[in-house]
Each structure stands twice: as structure tokens, then as C-alpha cells.
Amino acid sequence: MRRTILFVLMLMGTVLLGACAERLPTAEEIVDRMERARAETDDAHATVAIDFSSPEQTGSLVVEGWMQRTDETDAAGEPISRVRAEVRESSEADMVGAIVVSDGETFWLYNPKQNTVVTGRAEEMARQGPGSAAGATAALQDFVQQGLDAVDLEVLGSERLDPLGKQTWKVKVSPKPETTAQLQLDSVINGTMWIDEELALPLRLELNASDLGSGTVAVRSIELNTGLSPDLFTFTPPPGAEVVDAAALADRMAPRAATIDEARSSVGFALREPTYLPAGLALVEVRVIGDDTVILNYGGGDQSLSLVQSTARQAGAEREPPVGSSVESVTVRGAAGTLIRGADGQGSLLRWQENGVSYVIAGTVSGEEALRTAEGLE
């Protein structure tokens, strides 16, 4: 959840549209003009560059997107939109060429690397996870609907934004208290947005979310109300592509409780257990994700420890450590590993790979205890 909040908050800045003014307006005037312009926007075509850095993930991507409002409304009375998003560039090569399409009723998520298409009802897009292309698009739609109701604005001044050469309003953006509570934020969020004075179009958003990370959203190009064809929001799976039902996939990938024996039979690798545990810890839960990941959770007293074993690509494996922590290269069971110690000795995270299996030991225990636990795996 935490690693996707930063991405979602940045995307929010790309969908706040409004009208122009000759003088420096108040925040209330900007809100009114942006809301009116949003109501008058029937379709949009934009290219947006996103750079982000967080304890979980660091990267960049360029997305070209299209949105078209329909005559239908959802249960809350908000307009249902058709959307299409294509990843043009990405720091993660596997994401380049990914396509998300929704006609308002059905969505398709195409992964060219795997030649798979996940499809289902449009409302199921968010279940794909905010970290995925489909989940991020669903999160963007949610914020389009919430719009300026989710944030407070403070006008800082007028400023020329290069290299676009546009005169902009510079505005401070911060989540409202209810938004902070909804997203379960425990960090201070500070954002700055530059809004085109001619169109009241946000051209840039810089976000600093403390320990959650930071990021930038920059609009490279945008067109409004050009009369997009509804055909743009349909998708036909390429020949030979595997088509997967979204609901079935979400159910299969959801963590499920299991016994040790059930976990062993669910994965295609030898599941290891610790022969040593820090004093007071005992196994309290076993979780299986898909057919490639097992999580063993241990607890006791005021300590806890999780042992993750997986043959899946580990999301955030190259993530930056939290602010104030220390990073040390270590040898674990004869393999190169990384030990991250929390600030002031608060917890640790140890990761390494062995025979094609990725291991993570994390919890409130010390780095030394994490290493000793790893060495005792059998």
C-alpha cells in the first residue's frame, strides 16, 4: 500500500483542469475555474513523464494516455470514462509497450513481454494492484472523480515554467485531513504544482512525501476536446496471446493461509525453515501467494520476524533504504547479500538469492539475529 501512495498522489496532479485569469487568483478562484473546465472536458490526449523515488521503488516512465467521458454514470453519480494508456518509455524494460484499455464496462491489460492479456469488468481494474499499469490507471480515474475535493491549494505566485515557456501559477498542494486518513498516510506530504495561466492546465507537479519518497510529474503534451473515436477504447488480443480472467487471477494471487505442508506442496522449490529463532519467537502464520511465494511469519512478545521465499521477480529488490537506515554488503550462506539496519537499531531487513530462490528476512530483530536466523535455514 505505502509504495503506491506516492505514485497515486503524483498522478492526481495531471487531471486538475481549469480556466484562465489576468490577475493572480485566489486558491478558491483557481478551484472554481479548474472544476468548471473539468466539467467541460469531454476527452483528453496527453503524454506525461513520471519520475519517482521511494524506499520501495525508484524509476521513471513516459505514458501516453487518452480519456473520453461517456453519457453513463456510476453508482455515485460520477461520469464513467473510457481510458487508454500506453507505456512509451520506462526504467523497467518489461513495462515498455504495456497497454491498458477500458471502454467503461470491460478492461484489458496487455503485457507484450509475456504476451498475455488480463481482462475483466472495468471496476476490477483496481484489484490488479496500484503498482500495475491497470491498477495505476484505476487509481487515476478515482482521483479524476475526487478532483480538488481531495486536496487543499495555496497560491504561491506566478512563475515562468521552462522549457515549455509557459507562464504559470505556482501552487502549494497538500492532501486534506480526510484524504490523509483515507490513504492511511503517516508522513507529511508537500507538493508544488505549476498551472498554465492560459488554460489553467497543470503542467508540472513536484511531490515530497518524507519517508514515502519523492517524485515529479511533467506534462509533455496535451490536447482537449478533439473528438476522439470510441474505437480507440476497444482492444483485440494479439494472435497467440494468452487471455486471463482478471477475477480468477486476483483470487489466485491473493495471499492465502496454509499449513507448512500445504505450502511445501504449493511451490516448485524446497521450502526452508529456520533451525534458529531469536528468543521468544514462534511460527504464527503461513501465507502462500500464487505458486511461487511463501511467507512464514513469526511472533512473540514485542518482536516479530517474517521469512519470505520466492522464485518470482522480487518487486523493489533494488529499492532505496529508508531514510536514516544503514546498508551493508554481507555474505549469507556463501552468497552475496544485503543487510539494511533501521535507524537507531529499529529493525532490520536481510535479502539474498540462493539456487534461484530469493530470500528476505525482515522484522524488529537486530541485524545479527537476522543473519543468524538465515544461516540456520534448512
Q: Express each pLDDT in 304-348 by its tens digit.
A: 999 999 987 554 454 555 556 788 899 999 999 999 888 666 688
64 alpha carbon, distance to own chain's centre: 17
Which residues make beta-bridge pairs with 195?
169, 202
The number of distinct structural domains making up the chain is 2
194 or 343, which is more confident? 194
CATH code for the domain of 359:
3.30.200.100
Same-domain pairing of 193 and 264: no
Q: Could you identify the residue written with the cell 486558491?
A: 27
Which residues have a Cβ under 8 Å from the Cβ of 175 and sit 6 or more positions away? 9, 150, 151, 152, 183, 185, 189
pLDDT score at 360: 92
The conformation of residue 210, written as its DSSP 8-state character, comes to G
Burial of 296 (C-beta count, 10 Å sphere; 0-12/13-18/19+)? buried
pLDDT over 90, % of the chain: 28
C-alpha cell at 6: 506516492
Of 31-35, 155-159, 190-194, which has the strongest mean pLDDT? Answer: 155-159
Which residues make beta-bridge pairs with 191?
173, 207
pLDDT band, very low/low/confident/very high, at 237 (cuts 50, 70, 90): very high
| pLDDT tens-digit readout, 268-314 | 899 999 999 999 999 999 988 878 889 999 998 888 999 999 987 55
77 or 231, which is more confident? 231
Give the burial string for 74-112 (b: 16+ CB within 10 Å, else e). Answer: eeeeeebbbbbbbbeebeeeebbebbbbbbbebbbbbbe
Which residues have a Cβ under 8 Å from the Cβ of 321 and sit 6 or more positions away? 55, 327, 340
Beta strands in 263-347 (DSSP E): 282-289, 293-300, 303-310, 326-332, 335-341
Q: What is the mean pLDDT of residues 247-274?
A: 83
pLDDT band, very low/low/confident/very high, at 124 (cuts 50, 70, 90): low
Same-domain pairing of 284 and 206: no
Same-domain pairing of 197 and 223: yes
Same-domain pairing of 145 and 244: yes
Same-domain pairing of 165 and 204: yes
Q: What is the mean pLDDT of residues 223-232?
A: 92
Q: Which of 232, 249, 266 finishes a domain?
A: 249
289 vs 263: CA distance, rounded Å: 10
313 or 36, which is more confident? 36
Give the burial string for 215-245 (b: 16+ CB within 10 Å, else e). Answer: bbbbbeebeeeeebeeebbebeeeeeeeebe
Backbone angles phi and psi of 18, in degrees to 5: -165, -160
Distances (CA, A) of 311 to 57, 270, 294: 19, 11, 10
pLDDT score at 57: 66
Same-domain pairing of 45 and 161: yes
189 vs 176: CA distance, rounded Å: 10
Same-domain pairing of 241 and 259: no
Least confident piece of the model among 130-144, 242-256, 320-334, 344-358? 130-144
CATH code for the domain of 216:
2.50.20.10
288 or 54, which is more confident? 288
Same-domain pairing of 48 and 169: yes
Same-domain pairing of 259 and 116: no
Q: Spell out the alpha helix ranges (H) of 162-242.
A: 177-182
* Structural domain containing residue 283: 255-375
The conformation of residue 221, written as its DSSP 8-state character, comes to E
Q: Could you identify the residue written with the cell 516479530?
A: 304
Same-domain pairing of 261 and 235: no
- Arithmetic mean of pLDDT over the chain: 78
pLDDT band, very low/low/confident/very high, at 212 (cuts 50, 70, 90): low
Q: What is the mean pLDDT of residues 217-223?
A: 85
C-alpha cell at 138: 484505476
